[in-house]
Structure 1
Amino acid sequence: MQIAVNRFLAAGALLAMLIVSGRPALAEEVVPVGKPLTLEAIFEHNEFQAALPRGLRWQPDGASFTYLPAPGEATAGKLLQHVAGTGKSGEVMSFDELPGLPAEFQITDVQWHAGSGFALLRGAVQVTWHGYEDAAYYVYDSAGDRLWPLAGAGLALRHVKLSPDGLRAGYVHDNNLFVSDLREGNNTAVTDDGGEAVFNGSFDYGSTMFGSSDAWRWSPDGTAIAFWRLDVADVKTYPLMDPLHSYPQIRRFHYPNVGEKHAVYRVGVYDVAAAATRWLDTGHKPDDYLPQMTWDRESRGVYVERLTRDHQALEVLYADAASGETRSVLVDRDPAWLDVTEDLSPLPGAAGEFLWTSERSGWRHIYRVGRGGETATLTSGDWSVDAIAGVDTDGGWAYFYAKKDSLIDQHVYRVALDGGPIERLTTQPGWHTWTMSPDAKRAIVQHSDARTPPTLALYEAGGARIADLVTDAVPALRDYTMSHTEFVTFTTDDGVELNGFFIKPPNFDPAKKYPVIGYDYGNAGSQVVVNRWGTQRGPQQDLWHRFMAQQGYVIFAMDNRTTTGRGKAAKNLTYGHYAKYAVLDQLQGAAYLKSLPWVDADRLGFWGWSGGGYLAAALMTKGAPHWKVAVSVAPVIDLARYQAVGVERWMGMPEDNPEGYAAVNLINYVDKLEGKLLLIHGTGDENVKFEFTLQFVDALIRANRQFDMLVYPNQRHAISDFRGHVFASMTRYFNDHL
């Protein structure tokens, strides 16, 4: 299959990406031969969105996968299937030929099971005001050429999943869980008590801080469902005001602040044939969390993870699905906090073994855990495993991402399940993401680097390339001339080497002086200095940096000493004092910038979003006076008023750490504000409350400090409807004041 036509970038028009140590090497001069970047091209025309297939999904046997072509492809409007062994593609279905599908129904994803012949067709996704993604669904029976709504025409459903055998579908509606028998076409309620105070099969907002809002799992044989029930009756509600009416409307959702009551968890197993639920005896306290659960491979039981509220003890329980009885398998502990991952990977057989990642050694590594909790170490060393990518039990391999050879790249490795040497499978520098087949024999591989948009290829798991799938995902790129990333390292006064990058103006002249715009996020375990095209949220932010470089700015980003890949002891430096080293190491970064002959030391700017928004405001107050201008978007200001899960792991409880909470509360530093500060926030922010910014503003006014502010009515945390307006406003602010 060749999803896109082969094209090659006009590399002569691009800056060379340099990886240097210490003082940064200078990029070669570039003669502009293409168009300059514009805000319209980045945000309105969306010319740089990668044309990649959507909805890539392996079939259960791992022999083929299905996908929706990228918009604009000749095969758009069809579901296609690629046979991995032969390299051939074919059409599974054409949407305009489906019987009775409404003309206005826009298909955005398809779950297809070749063995059963059933498909779930998802319509347009609607994001609710509190952040859930809902859509209407149709069922297509290919054998009978029949089509019907899964749960009523136009009914918005959540967390819809086809069973492993393809004969049933499960979904959440109005916080209740349902099962549909696709052969009979009937729907059965698994729960009936869902509503404002009870969440079944879907996490409440507070619990989504652990990851997805999806709170139910099919058993591997499709005969049972394990699901969470969350009681939020005692969780305080937070009001969001919709001001765009004659009389503003108030929307309320449960939001557990630091130190306050959060949802009470319960896990049930629903037997589909018996239409009955058995509740698991997890033995947890109301203040504990049950953040993850995983079925074993034989569908006999469920591994449930139990986390203490202080995040310092994480226990793995094994629950028998038939009896509900549980036994403890292992416990991890940390003096600061434990990160919750999705790495628990059950192994087949009656021995009850599984793979587990833990930072118990000071670095995250893979362990093989036996039924009684005995562990065998599969990886070790002063480097960190990022995540398990897949497990081939027949071949005896565990595949994983790690920061073993580079902190800025993401490489794929494997190790034998019985232990042994580690094999690196990816060779190109950059960011590799593998979507492995269920048997972990093959992988759909996406690769990019800081100057190259994503490519897509099919590989054998051992590293042999089978076929190129997409080689030119952003053809518009070659029409433009732009600067690219130069990676650097520098050393702090106390001897810690930190990673950073520059994006310099085209035709950079080291004899000139340039203003600098800094950027960072800064939270422990985060990372912004990566050898990857764009960011996790897409390419727009990265392209805006390149646009600003064209306006004559140098862009600088850096990762502090608590960021990912540096070990648990490094992350724990932030415990009890959020962002301490994010601020202190930015001061080191400012000193490094001022030491460079081509930096205008009096014209340093900074911007950040969310945690980075906090950092931007902190640098202009407690970190003053090194930065002249900053833009702070959706900043966390006072952590004592933020969400329990997100803060307590880093700060402990307020009553146990009053000095720490006072030290990170930027309201206590408003009198130190120097320079120009622009605050940006959406009034509908479901994550970082708009009131944070208002409380900060109130304190600034009382301290007689001047600032600027931009408000987006009803916009959520990402301000996704007006990204172009946000970045145009930031552009103007830096142009006017830096």
Structure 2
Amino acid sequence: MLTRVLSAALFCMALPVQAAPDRGSIEQALDLRERWLPLTRDVMLAPVWASDGDTFHYKLSVEGGFYFFRQSLTGSAPQLAFDHDKVASGISAATGHSYQAEVLPFEQFQFTEQMEAITFYLNNARWQCQLQTPDCRDITEPRQGSAFGVVRDLNQDVDASPLWSPDGRYQALVRGHNLLLLDQQGRLLLKTDDGNGSNFYDPQSIRWAPDSSALLLVRVQPGTARYVTRVLAAPEDQLEPKVIQQLYPKPGDAVDIDQPVLIKLQAKTVTPIENALFANPYRIDQLVWQQDSSAFTFRYTERGHQRMRIIHVDAATAKATALVTEDSPTFVNLWAAFHQPLQQGVQGVVWLSERDGWAHLYRTDRSGKKLQQLTSGNWRVRQVLAIDENAGHVWFTASGYYPEQDPYYEQLFRVDLAGGNLTALTERNAHHEVVLSPDRQHFIVRYSRVDLPYVTELRQSSDGALIRTLAQADISRLTAAGFRPPQPFVAKGRDGATDIWGLIVKPQNFDPEKRYPVIENIYAGPHDSFVPKSFWPFGFHAGGDKVIGMQALADLGFIVVQIDGMGTANRSKAFHDVAWQDLADSGFPDRILWHQAAADSFPWYSIEGGIGIYGASAGGQSTVAALLFHPDFYRVGVAYAGCYDNRMDKISWNEQWLGYPVGPQYAASSVVEQAHLLQGQLLIINGEQDSNVDPASTMQLVDALIRADKDFDLLIVPGGEHSVGRSSGPIRYVQRRQFDFFIRHLQGAATPDWNRVH
């Protein structure tokens, strides 16, 4: 360690330090995304197949923004998918916000069946626009919301309209907490009498058997109706503040207990399914009938996330059988779970399991006793795209299959449903994003790396053969404007053997003869991995906006990096389990070694005296943890919207990684409990109206820091959500405050007087 410090000191003496940025440089960095976004051409995004499998549409970068185009398998010239001016006019009129044809506010859409309209999502609502007239409207159907998937909002209205049976002969509805079954004329055939406010039938759970012989639904014992109360201090439509309440279950709260109930029409029987196999539910979901109406299945996740079952219920006997039981001494990862009931032959189910230490596909029959592993090896299945029972194939993407490649790059594979004949359909040293056609005869693949712009191809599914190239991104103008791709870097983790992958972003005017202070962009949430692997740096996929934000910060005279340490997802089960009941770890032992290896490799990588760190949400929690628990290494931090004490955060994310019941492991991961350990410089930023993480978590950290007599900076954004800003103004302001903070405390330079009128 002494050798490394002396070596770093010699480098510091030999190389000049980057000069501090002026006001113009900071403003230019703040505008980087807007200046660079229009400079790409022929970047294809978000391809979508039509249901017939013969045509597809996609978003393509063009002069001034993006247009949607449509193309067919036959290779006819691409055509505009619709009249963009007309749609822009319709959305603008309906929303009161002005939209341009080249900058429509959605990434994907679907044609309606007759292709007379398109549907898409805008601000979490479903919209439809007619294509012949500028008529757009919100068509979101009213549904009773469920807070983080486990507690229903009983204050919301529920659609009470009847659900008709597939044969059109019967209608089922819930009224007064009970189920009513009526015939075509509305005559009552059956009515339950055991429903009440504390044990009610859920109308949104009704599932008819395909042959109309039976239906199932769930009876619900409601959980804790915990509400978070926020004050909107500066509403846009009135002077006085408003009070906002949100249903927000937290770790340890009682969840809704769902009891599946089978109702058979001919016998007029109402049978609750015996719950011995699902007696302690965190959630019961994905209730699905077999196509022959012989049975239904559902997924049971046990409280604590250490057991998951796929339950099979025989419709004739109402007997429940566990087709699959997944047990783990740490956690069963609900965030990456997959299963699909089979409809043919011995039926059964295909599911994803980490039981051998890696995520792989398994199959069992309807008895649950005949187990078969379909894939195996020191690599992981990432996404199941389709199961074709007629052809006997499973289509999926996987990463880590090619040991010489980045272990996060996804490739496309096919394996026989009976096991064997694993076929790789892509193999380039790049990340692949695949959209399989509905008939599984073709696929569209976009491959790229952070240093390789998108190439989009149409390929044949049988053997992966190329049919034609659909688009090849042109970034010549982006490159001429100064864009340089991030630099991947790999170092060994805490065990001395595992590769830890990250990215290094340098300033546009990078000078290898100078020394640059280092800032880490951290997100260590165990639900995913976060270092971008594909090219697009502008935010239409996970990690995109991080790259352009990292570049903007780097342009002010920093090296900015992002790392996936142990405890994040998409590697082995052991790699992931590091996070179990220890979110304070955040992969810091791996991250620090990675930084030290980079400093040993590059003379311009300056870590002596400590580095900077910033992050949002779980990344905000990790940012504070860095300053508390690793103050000799991290000395300046900007924490956004942090879940600083996991007992204060949402139930779903926290019980998954910290377990149940709530115990000392929650306090051990709390940075509020350890606030007195703060060293270095900290800026805390939070949106007043954060609906993802209770804003009180931030104020409790502030309170603890004050009680510990610690100095820190605090910025609360009125009306700000989890993403902090409610419009471009606050977002730009918040980013500028972050930039200023790092310039002052990491570069030791004065920042502009922004209050001075120019």
TM-score by length of 1: 0.76
Quick one: structure 1 residues 564 and 146, their matched pair in 2 at CA, closer, same or farther if it must change by over 3 Å?
closer
Instruction: Give how far 1:621 is off.
Output: 1.1
The equivalent residue for 1:480 is 481
Render the CA deviation track for 1:649-689: whole Å, top value 9, x for unaligned.
Answer: 3222355x31x222211122222211111111111111111
Alignment of 1:190-589 (within 5 A): 232=222, 234-245=224-235, 246-265=239-258, 281=273, 283=275, 284-285=278-279, 287-294=281-288, 296=290, 301-319=295-313, 326-340=320-334, 341=336, 343-373=338-368, 374-403=370-399, 404-405=401-402, 406-461=406-461, 462-472=463-473, 477-492=478-493, 494-497=495-498, 498-506=500-508, 508-524=510-526, 526-533=528-535, 534=537, 536-537=541-542, 539-580=544-585, 582-589=587-594
Is 2:700 aligned against 1:695? yes
The equivalent residue for 1:629 is 636
Instruction: Give how far 1:138 is off.
Output: 6.8
For residue 617 of structure 1, the aligned residue among 617, 621, 624 is 624
Distance in 1, Cα, partners of 2:243 & 2:691 = 13
Render the CA deviation track for 1:624-648: whole Å, top value 9, x for unaligned.
Answer: 1322211111111111222222122
CA RMSD across the alignment? 4.5
Distance in 1, Cα, partners of 2:362 & 2:201 = 34
The equivalent residue for 1:10 is none
Range that drifts further, 636-645 or 695-704? 636-645
Quick one: structure 1 residues 225 and 532, their matched pair in 2 at CA, closer, same or farther if it must change by over 3 Å?
farther
The equivalent residue for 1:176 is 159
The equivalent residue for 2:604 is 598
Instruction: Give how far 1:269 is off.
Output: 9.0
The equivalent residue for 1:29 is none
Count of aligned positions: 653
The equivalent residue for 2:125 is 134
Query: Is contact 1:199-1:231 (8 Å) kept?
Result: no
SS at 2:459's partner residue? Answer: strand
Quick one: structure 1 residues 135 and 408, their matched pair in 2 at CA, closer, same or farther if it must change by over 3 Å?
closer
Query: Is contact 1:516-1:556 (8 Å) kept?
Result: yes
Is 2:33 aligned against 1:42? yes
Quick one: structure 1 residues 321 and 122, their matched pair in 2 at CA, closer, same or farther if it must change by over 3 Å?
farther
The equivalent residue for 1:170 is none
Instruction: Give how far 1:226 is off.
Output: 8.1
SS at 2:620's partner residue? Answer: helix
Render the CA deviation track for 1:45-72: whole Å, top value 9, x for unaligned.
Answer: 85379876787543444x3244365587
Whichever residue aligns with residue 122 of structure 2, its letter is V
Quick one: structure 1 residues 720 and 324, their matched pair in 2 at CA, closer, same or farther if it must change by over 3 Å?
farther
Instruction: Give how far 1:389 is off.
Output: 2.0
Alignment of 1:712-723 (within 5 A): 712-719=717-724, 721-722=726-727, 723=731
Quick one: structure 1 residues 57 and 320, their matched pair in 2 at CA, closer, same or farther if it must change by over 3 Å?
farther
Is 2:656 aligned against 1:649? yes
Distance in 2, Cα, partners of 1:736 & 1:358 = 49
Query: Is contact 1:587-1:623 (8 Å) kept?
Result: no
Distance in 1, Cα, partners of 2:644 & 2:519 = 22
Query: Is contact 2:640-2:686 (8 Å) kept?
Result: yes
Distance in 2, Cα, partners of 1:75 & 1:43 = 11
Quick one: structure 1 residues 301 and 710, their matched pair in 2 at CA, closer, same or farther if it must change by over 3 Å?
farther
The equivalent residue for 1:122 is 119
Instruction: Give how far 1:447 is off.
Output: 2.5
The equivalent residue for 2:678 is 673
- Higher RCO (C-alpha 8 Å, min separation 6): 1
Whichever residue aligns with residue 572 of structure 2, its letter is G
SS at 1:104's partner residue? Answer: helix
The equivalent residue for 2:193 is none
Render the CA deviation track for 1:249-278: whole Å, top value 9, x for unaligned.
Answer: 22222211111112333568999x99x998
The equivalent residue for 1:209 is none
The equivalent residue for 1:686 is 691
Alignment of 1:10-89 (within 5 A): 38-43=29-34, 46-47=37-38, 56-61=47-52, 63-67=53-57, 82-85=71-74
Query: Is contact 1:110-1:119 (8 Å) kept?
Result: no
Range that drifts further, 506-515 or 82-91? 82-91
Query: Is contact 2:57-2:81 (8 Å) kept?
Result: no
SS at 2:653's partner residue? Answer: helix
- 5+ residue gaps in structure 2? 1-26, 96-103, 145-155, 165-170, 178-196, 747-758
Query: Is contact 1:682-1:712 (8 Å) kept?
Result: yes
Query: Is contact 1:614-1:632 (8 Å) kept?
Result: yes
Whichever residue aligns with residue 531 of structure 2, its letter is V
Render the CA deviation track for 1:74-112: whole Å, top value 9, x for unaligned.
Answer: 99998x6533255566688769999x9899358966544
Instruction: Give how far 1:522 is off.
Output: 1.4
SS at 1:668's partner residue? Answer: coil
Distance in 2, Cα, partners of 1:299 & 1:714 = 50
TM-score by length of 2: 0.74
Identity of aligned residues (%): 22
Whichever residue aligns with residue 298 of structure 2, its letter is V
Whichever residue aligns with residue 557 of structure 2, its letter is G
Distance in 1, Cα, partners of 2:133 & 2:270 = 35
Whichever residue aligns with residue 308 of structure 1, its letter is E
Alignment of 1:85-104 (within 5 A): 85=74, 104=93
Quick one: structure 1 residues 229 and 508, their matched pair in 2 at CA, closer, same or farther if it must change by over 3 Å?
farther
Instruction: Give how far 1:155 is off.
Output: 5.9
Quick one: structure 1 residues 67 and 610, their matched pair in 2 at CA, closer, same or farther if it must change by over 3 Å?
same
Range that drifts further, 620-629 or 105-114? 105-114
Structure number with greater Rg is 2
The equivalent residue for 2:756 is none
Instruction: Give how far 1:615 is off.
Output: 0.8
Instruction: Give how far 1:508 is off.
Output: 4.0
Render the CA deviation track for 1:171-197: whole Å, top value 9, x for unaligned.
Answer: xx944376899xxxxxx9955679x99
Instruction: Give how far 1:719 is off.
Output: 3.1
Quick one: structure 1 residues 256 and 486, their matched pair in 2 at CA, closer, same or farther if it must change by over 3 Å?
same
Range that drifts further, 374-383 or 526-535? 526-535
Distance in 2, Cα, partners of 1:49 & 1:158 = 40
Query: Is contact 1:313-1:332 (8 Å) kept?
Result: yes
